[in-house]
A and B are shown apart, each in its own frame.
Chain A
């Protein structure tokens, strides 16, 4: 049986539609600039109405030493009175794609549902800017958020990290940097189906080759671009971290039809072995990002209900 046959039928409909218009998925577009344009167009076509309960502001904040400023978008409930918890949001895209705008609706939804100030970071992308540029940008802008908590209306003791896919890998890389450099205190982290293992050796990394969203060949290519001529240290590939103690409590979910499945299960297991409070959910029939492509599916609603519930409790 092909892994595609294990996809939740409701969630598969938009996937099949996508693959009809874009055979092989966007990773089949060889040129990275054209690929980014296709992804941008894809998400722009979703046309989600603006949420009137959420205010947005674009800013530029200091980047790492000697590097350019980092763009951020700040989301705040329009009726916020007191300080709110803060959620630092890192978008996905395999370290090579994606931007703040591509996940604007999700960041706004989380702001609204959790009643938190969300700061979404527009880090630099590989291959133009390989590791450590993306994770250093994320760390720098997190430092800005924590240092400016008062101005942002954020309670600095209630800070969470959220990110999916490459954003999940960057959540963990940023949390490791914050731990190792004595950086901002993070109360909770939610790396969603995180991309964390550059070795492409797990069973699921061999199994998922033709689903069409994030398959083995695309993952190998993205890691090669992300690492560039450098070395894959623990901040690039958190599975390489030998010591996971001192990280914040975690929530991880991943689908059964996701090539990151096995690396994420193993990482959650190692977090628990290191004594980190961890919730892990393996969603049967979900492919990589399926809750984004099929937001109306019952499976996607369950996925989001569990995440939002965990975020609220993690930041309580």
Chain B
């Protein structure tokens, strides 16, 4: 395991999925303790009208021009059952500062009180709202990414599948961070993941039980079951070496590529599930976040930054500190 990440493992609280009331309180405390720097962003809570209404949290850059900017629909994680929109406050503000994009984060309903399809419907409602209100939000509706982390990654994959199969809205990019995609839980990494840090197969079993609510999984509940992945937008997908979700993420990336979907994949070595959220200051987290922001800028066609100007010819030096991706 990465040494900086290993140092905090003893501090990660237990999040058992069989005692959700207590675990949600623990999660709220954990979110409270995460570094959250909102500098440079305007944060506003609104309601996306629907059946039912869906709360959304909007992050806008404080300083922006008059041109419409790309937007990211963010779907937080938490095993479908324990997260809140606040979990991503820090990463969303960071994303806005680094890219100048608008972020709309979805406060979807949680399982088991609201099993599938409720959480997925809420995410799709929020996506429609974002597109329908693009003008008002100063967003270019042709440059929208759907991003999710963990169970949010699964919901992001579902939302993008719904957009494909219901004829819209158009999504320019999907971003699946350490996604939870497969209820079958039979990959080698999942079978070996009884005690993996950050997420394990005991939590995974219960997470899917809560989310499916006793029903069988269809391909919109568990995108790994979707037979046809053709026609999905360009994809940025990450997995972590020491994550029980690793192999389902790799398999999804492999299948996207086989279906002709442009896909960039990063497997972060020595990393456990949730590392970039739990230890955002570790060097590997800084690299992971900078790589993500760079991919979003490339994928959504924002003005290029000049931080890759480190390689001109074989005789030109890279930055002497050897770190190419530190956000400035």
Q: Which A residues contact B (CB, under 8 angstroms)?
A: 1, 6, 48-49, 51, 105-106, 108-109, 112-113, 203-204, 207, 249, 251, 256, 261-262, 265-266, 268-269, 272-273, 277-285, 295-296, 298, 300-302, 304-306, 308-309, 312-313
A113 with B265, Cβ < 8 A, contacts A204-B257, A296-B312 known: no
Interface size on B, residues (CB 8 A): 39
Q: Which B residues contact A (CB, under 8 angstroms)?
A: 188-189, 192, 234, 241, 246-247, 250, 253-254, 257-258, 260, 262-270, 287, 294, 298, 304, 308, 310-315, 317-318, 322-325
Q: What are the residues of chain A within 8 A of B263 when measuring CB–CB?
A: 256, 282, 284
Kindly provide the distance from the CB of A45 to the nearest chain B CB, expressed in whole angstroms.
15
A283:B264 contact, CB within 8 angstroms: yes
A278:B267 contact, CB within 8 angstroms: yes
B310:A281 contact, CB within 8 angstroms: no
| Bound form: Cα–Cα A105–B59 in Å | 46
A279:B269 contact, CB within 8 angstroms: yes
A256 with B257, Cβ < 8 A, contacts A268-B267, A273-B188, A282-B263 known: yes
| A249 partner, pick from B250, B266, B269, B310, beta carbons under 8 A | B269
A-B contact count (CB 8 A): 112
A106:B322 contact, CB within 8 angstroms: no
- At the interface, is chain A mostly helix, strand, loop or mixed? helix
A/B interface sample: 18 pairs, CB < 8 A: A6-B260, A106-B314, A256-B257, A269-B246, A269-B250, A273-B189, A278-B269, A279-B268, A280-B267, A282-B263, A284-B262, A295-B314, A298-B304, A298-B308, A302-B294, A305-B311, A305-B324, A308-B318
A309:B250 contact, CB within 8 angstroms: no
A305:B267 contact, CB within 8 angstroms: no
| A265 partner, pick from B234, B253, B298, B311, beta carbons under 8 A | B253
Given contacts A261-B257, A269-B246, A284-B264, 6 further A-B contacts (CB under 8 A): A48-B313, A106-B314, A272-B189, A280-B250, A282-B263, A282-B265
Kindly provide the distance from the CB of B179 to the nearest chain A CB, expressed in whole angstroms.
15
Q: What are the residues of chain B within 8 A of A313 when measuring CB–CB?
A: 322
| Bound form: Cα–Cα A251–B311 in Å | 20
Q: What are the residues of chain A within 8 A of B250 when measuring CB–CB?
A: 265, 268-269, 280
